[in-house]
Amino acid sequence: MSDDEVDHELIALLRKSLGIGGGAANPGAAETKVLENSQYVFDNAIDVALDPTKTKEAAETIWSQMQKKEYTTSSWSEHELHPKTKDENTVDFIFTMDLLNFSFWSAETSEKRFAIEYQGKKWTGYWSLVAALQRALDEGIEITNPEFWANEEECTEELLRHVFRSATAEEMPLLQERLECLREAGRVLCNDFDGSFTNCIYSANHSAAALVNLLAESFSCFRDEAIFQGRRVRLYKRAQILVADLWACFDGESYGEFHDIDKITMFADYRIPQMLHYLGCIKYSPPLETRIRKHEDIPSGSNFEIELRATSIWCIELIKREIELKHPEVKSAKTNGHSDSNGISKPNGHSRGPSQNSNGHPIDSQGQPSGLFRRHSRHSSASNARPGTGVGINAILIDFFLYDTMKELENDGQETIPHHRTRSIWY
């Protein structure tokens, strides 16, 4: 072999050792670099800062309130819109869902914003996506089939407009971009993974980090990266939330079994920065805060946006570490692979927002108004979790909790600052 020739076997070995391109030779070695990159952005940020004292105070408040709510991964399927089965069809649904899980915010009033009418209710936000997918399946449209996405004669923009037809005058945002995501994913899955996302899961060998890396490498629509001060940084919101949904739906078993689930960070979008600002954990420079309060667009990939997202990721990591420091039994429970009597898992519904009634207010699985901090009369969630599926605390759970909290504050008119507005396929 000459010096100019490429050693493909060596490259393949190196890629596997990094947890990309089909799993890691040592799955435990796979790293997404999201946390490391987020710390770099935070260390060099100009317009977003952290308040250490408020962050520590928030950690104790968050942990205390999480104990009052009953979380369990088994409740993922309880929401009326989520799949009830635990099979490959469910994996297909989750992949489709998170492939298109971006940019639902609207400048319209609640009555005029994009909404899907399904089973006698109107659904907005994330739930509008899930409702539209379920409605399409009911109509016999193969909306979760990669072969269908790759067929440009069948999966047309006209058909997608039908799938996402709105109950209001406002259309689904970024509809053309969603079609492009479907077509790319269809081509990649059919060409490289025998037409099934389950083969991506198998390639990752039960490593959450390896699966995130595989998604980002194989699908450009999952490659949520940006350049910040001359360095490429990874944020990978949708790739990570896809792994989290699999973990939650399958209770950490079967297609949702990941030995390194705690390598997943929070999911950097609009609501967590807003909630962290509400808690006093993060602060904005006057120019950035002015733009947010005036509802001015913040361009995707701008320093403002990267600092908002990355600093939020790092802040949630610090909150998690503070909880583990003050409550060492939590870390022990996580390390041992099971939860103690205070163990908690995923809240009811998806990681992005509580269920809503036709008026847009949160409801629980029985259709009753959801009180954010109300005490539940049910038995402890830990007693309902199967052995080995519970966890102590991780960034996923904190993200779930804070997102639902922010939505509740919004519905009660208690927002202290709007969320930032960035129209993007990344979140």
Please report the sign of the dihedral spanned by the C-alpha atoms of residue 293, residue 299, residue 300, residue 306. Answer: negative
Going by pLDDT thresholds of 50, 70 and 90, the confidence category of residue 113 is very high
Nearest C-alpha neighbor of 403 from the set 271, 276, 280, 309? 271
- The arithmetic mean of pLDDT across residues 64-77, rounded, is 69
Beta strands 282-284 and 355-356, pairing class: unpaired
With beta carbons less than 8 A apart as the criterion, state whether 167 and 122 touch: yes
How many angstroms separate the CA atoms of 211 and 224, rounded?
A: 14
pLDDT at position 409: 87
Stretch 249-272: mean pLDDT: 94
* Contacts with 111 (C-beta within 8 Å, 6 or more apart), sequence order: 168
Overall average pLDDT of the 362-378 stretch: 31
The pLDDT score that the predictor gives to residue 306 is 98
For residues 245-274, b (16+ Cβ closer than 10 Å) or e, as one string? Answer: bbbbbbbbeebbbbebbbbbbbbbbbbbbb
Residue 289 has pLDDT above 90, yes or no: yes
- The residue ranking higher by pLDDT, 406 or 258, is 258
DSSP assignment letter at 221: G
Mean pLDDT of 99-122: 95
From the candidates 269, 297, 364, 412, which is the catalytic residue? 269
pLDDT at residue 152 is higher than 90: yes
**pLDDT, greater one: 133 or 338:** 133
pLDDT for 6 equals 52
Q: Which residue reads 């847009």 in tokens?
A: 360
Residue 371 to residue 86: CA distance in whole angstroms: 29
47 band by pLDDT with thresholds 50, 70 and 90: very high
269 is catalytic: yes
- Give mean pLDDT, residues 284-295: 98
Residue 242 pLDDT more than 90? yes
pLDDT at 160 over 50: yes
pLDDT at 28: 59
Q: Identify which has the larger pLDDT, 110 or 75.
A: 110
pLDDT at 50: 98
Res. 31: pLDDT tops 60:
yes
Reduced to 3 states (helix: H, G, I; strand: E, B; else coil), residue 356 is strand
- pLDDT the model gives residue 241: 96
CA-based angle 44:307:180, to the nearest 5? 135
**pLDDT in the model for residue 267:** 96
350-368: average pLDDT: 38
Distance between CA atoms of 190 and 410, rounded to whole angstroms?
Answer: 42
Q: Are 268 and 374 in contact (CB under 8 A)?
A: no
pLDDT of the residue at 360: 39
How many CB atoms are located within 10 Å of the residue 39 CB? 16
Q: What is the pLDDT of residue 1?
A: 52
DSSP-derived secondary structure letter, 133: H
Using 50, 70 and 90 to split pLDDT, how confident is the model at 9? Answer: low
In DSSP terms, which residues pair with 344 in a beta bridge?
391
pLDDT band at 357 (very low <50, low <70, confident <90, very high): very low
Mean pLDDT of the chain: 83
Q: Which two tokens stand for residue 272?
A: 């967590």
Whole-number percent of the chain with pLDDT over 90? 66
Contact 426, 234 (CB under 8 A): no
Tell me 282's DSSP state.
E
Is the pLDDT assigned to residue 49 strictly greater than 80? yes
Structure-block tokens of residue 411 = 């519905």
Distance between CA 189 and CA 260 in Å, rounded? Answer: 24
Q: Which residues of 143-166 are buried (b: 16+ CB within 10 A; e: fewer)?
A: bbbbeebbeeeebeeeebeebbeb
Six token digits for residue 341: 């009597």
